[in-house]
Chain A
Amino acid sequence: MKRYSKIWIMLSLISLQNSFAGRFGAIVFVIGKLIRFGMFFLLLAVLFNSTKALAGFTREQIFVVFLTYTLVDSISQLLFREVYRFRGRVVTGDFDLDLIKPLNSLFRPLLGGIDVLDAITLLPYLIVFVQITRGMQIQPLSVALFILLLLNALFISAGFHIIVLSLGVVTSEIDHAILIYRDIFQMGRFPTSIYTGLVRNVLTFVVPLTIMITVPAKVLFGLYSLQTLLAAFATSLIFLLVSLRLWQYALQKYTSASS
């Protein structure tokens, strides 16, 4: 475990050095993300000019849901940025050089390149989060549960990224898989109770946005049940196990770049 921490820190430092090489692009990226964040808030404010509540949620509560989405989304991208580069490594055969090392085969593809830019944008998100929730009188227990559920969401997110990596090992069409996942994930900007029918089922069972975003947000308002919590943790556990198994299977099917 200590070895992995050390290696992860070294990889992160390397990633940091590499990202400073393209400074202009980096700045534009950060600005774009902050614009998007700010604008969505304005949008929500406009929305609530016209209506008092949305699917039973007050304005502050909707804000919190959006902020929860932002946190999960940002931290995921921060941690799993390397997944976006995976296809390149498989196609050039560099992935072989990763596999030969005495490290867990998932380590480098999943966690090997944290995105420093996402770390930078995380700060304003957190500040806004604290501001908004300040007037809400949240119990310390709720905060603890919230953090636990955030971690839970990250595990589920990891599971999805592992599935994408498995796809990348077997075929090479993963760029789209990731983008579709991100688009679906965006639907979690609002509480999943606004969706109905097939869409809601998909967002509860297939890409469990309810557990990843809506439930943690509701915990902060003091709305939770033991059942839901257990379901949340069980889901992430099962999901992770399934994705890990899929990865093992994918490695068996791996054909490697031809020499």
Chain B
Amino acid sequence: MNKILIIAQNTAQETAAYRLNFVLWRARSVIRYLLSYFLWTAILSGVAGAVGGYSRAQMLTYLTFGYIVMTFVLATRTQDLGGEINEGKLSNALLRPQSFFQYLIGREIGDKVVNLVFSVAEVGLLLFILHPPVLFQSNPEVLLLTLLAVIGSTIMYFLLSLLMSLIAFWTNDIWAVRFLFFMCLEFMSGSLIPIDLFPGIWRSIVLSTPFPYVMFFPAKIYLGGMSVSDLRQGFMVLSIWIIGLSLLAYVAWRRGLKSYGADGR
């Protein structure tokens, strides 16, 4: 456990070294949040009441809490792995005095902690400047479910991103899959529009993909009032994805290492 903490610390310090990079990355996240914020403020200010079940307060709460969740879930270093594999540096990584898995987890924690701290600070600042009418959830049951969802989403995305990097064992064009992934994420994570506003069939389709679990699912639970059937459905799909991705990742890892070793690096 100690080792993981040390790795996490190192990762955090690395971020401090690449300061400019990180600050600009945060700036870009804030800018994207602002788009959704103003969009929905504009839509909901003209309307008395709610749109699709979302009042202004609820929507802004959804967006703001969702922002923190999404930042946390998406913060990862697994994408480095792809580069390491392609550049033949994996052997170095495998020779390290801790298990590779510990290494991955350590880096993940480091990156997530730094991003979490910053996103909370950013939200604090935004609340101070813009005064959105956000709601604070007090129901302990709801909070527990939210936490569960966030944990599940974090694990799911970790596996997914890992898998996207493991593709590097078989091709050099690893950026392509990630690029397409983020194209889809933009629309299906719920960061622009909550998924439950999607019409019938589309909603079902999107909710069976991993994308909405990055933000929509946890944020919606937090708002409270999610039906039991929706909760059950959501957690079930999430679990299926986690199990499926774990299996895929395991197989990809084993197969990949074999073919990697065969190259005599």
Q: Do chains A and B touch in the complex (CB under 8 A)?
A: yes
In the complex the two chains form, is A194's CB within 8 Å of B39's CB?
yes
In the complex the two chains form, is B38's CB within 8 Å of A196's CB?
yes
In the complex the two chains form, is A28's CB within 8 Å of B197's CB?
no
Task: Give Cα A185 to B117, complex, Å.
Answer: 27
* Interchain nearest-CB distance for A163 vs B (Å): 16
Task: Give Cα A20 to B14, complex, Å.
Answer: 38
Instruction: State whether the Cβ of B264 lies closer than 8 Å to any Cβ in chain A.
Output: no
| A36 in contact with B183 given A46-B197, A49-B199 (CB within 8 Å) | yes
Q: A residues within 8 A CB of B21?
A: 176
In the complex the two chains form, is B173's CB within 8 Å of A32's CB?
no
In the complex the two chains form, is A24's CB within 8 Å of B173's CB?
yes
* Interchain nearest-CB distance for B36 vs A (Å): 10
In the complex the two chains form, is B186's CB within 8 Å of A39's CB?
yes
Which of B39, B42, B175, B187 lies in contact with A39, CB distance below 8 A?
A: B187
Instruction: State whether the Cβ of B94 lies closer than 8 Å to any Cβ in chain A.
Output: no
**How many of chain A's residues touch chain B, expressed as a range?**
35 or more
In the complex the two chains form, is B180's CB within 8 Å of A31's CB?
yes
Instruction: State whether the Cβ of A42 lies closer than 8 Å to any Cβ in chain B.
Output: yes
Main DSSP-derived SS at the A contact region: helix
In the complex the two chains form, is B24's CB within 8 Å of A46's CB?
no
Instruction: State whether the Cβ of A119 lies closer than 8 Å to any Cβ in chain B.
Output: no
The proximity string for A residues 166-191 relative to B, scoring 1 for CB distances below 8 Å and 0 otherwise, is 00000001001001100110110110
Instruction: State whether the Cβ of A147 lies closer than 8 Å to any Cβ in chain B.
Output: no
Task: Give Cα A173 to B198, complex, Å.
Answer: 40
Task: Give Cα A198 to B130, complex, Å.
Answer: 10
Within 8 A of A (CB), among B173-209: 173, 175-176, 179-180, 183-184, 186-187, 192-193, 197-199, 202
Within 8 A of A (CB), among B8-35: 20-21, 24, 27-28, 31-32, 34-35
Instruction: State whether the Cβ of B121 lies closer than 8 Å to any Cβ in chain A.
Output: no
In the complex the two chains form, is B173's CB within 8 Å of A40's CB?
no
Which of B24, B35, B179, B192 lies in contact with A32, CB distance below 8 A?
A: B179
Which of A55, A183, A190 lies in contact with B28, CB distance below 8 A?
A: A183
Instruction: State whether the Cβ of B236 lies closer than 8 Å to any Cβ in chain A.
Output: no
The proximity string for A residues 35-59 relative to B, scoring 1 for CB distances below 8 Å and 0 otherwise, is 1100110110011011101110000
* Interchain nearest-CB distance for B158 vs A (Å): 23
Instruction: State whether the Cβ of A199 lies closer than 8 Å to any Cβ in chain B.
Output: yes
In the complex the two chains form, is A42's CB within 8 Å of B179's CB?
no
Task: Give Cα A47 to B47, complex, Å.
Answer: 14
* Interchain nearest-CB distance for A5 vs B (Å): 34
Q: A residues within 8 A CB of B173?
A: 24-25, 28
In the complex the two chains form, is A35's CB within 8 Å of B183's CB?
yes
Which of B28, B35, B187 lies in contact with A179, CB distance below 8 A?
A: B28
| A180 in contact with B28 given A25-B176, A47-B193 (CB within 8 Å) | yes
Q: A residues within 8 A CB of B202?
A: 42, 46
Task: Give Cα A36 to B188, complex, Å.
Answer: 11
Q: B residues within 8 A CB of A107?
A: none
* Interchain nearest-CB distance for B169 vs A (Å): 17
Instruction: State whether the Cβ of A195 lies closer than 8 Å to any Cβ in chain B.
Output: yes
In the complex the two chains form, is A199's CB within 8 Å of B47's CB?
no
Instruction: State whether the Cβ of A29 lies closer than 8 Å to any Cβ in chain B.
Output: yes
Q: A residues within 8 A CB of B180?
A: 28, 31-32, 35
Q: A residues within 8 A CB of B28?
A: 179-180, 183
Task: Give Cα A187 to B42, complex, Å.
Answer: 14
Q: B residues within 8 A CB of A54?
A: 39, 42-43
| A183 in contact with B31 given A36-B186, A50-B51, A194-B38 (CB within 8 Å) | yes
* For the complex of A and B, 8 pairs with smallest distance between CB atoms: A194-B42, A176-B24, A28-B176, A39-B187, A50-B52, A50-B51, A183-B31, A55-B42
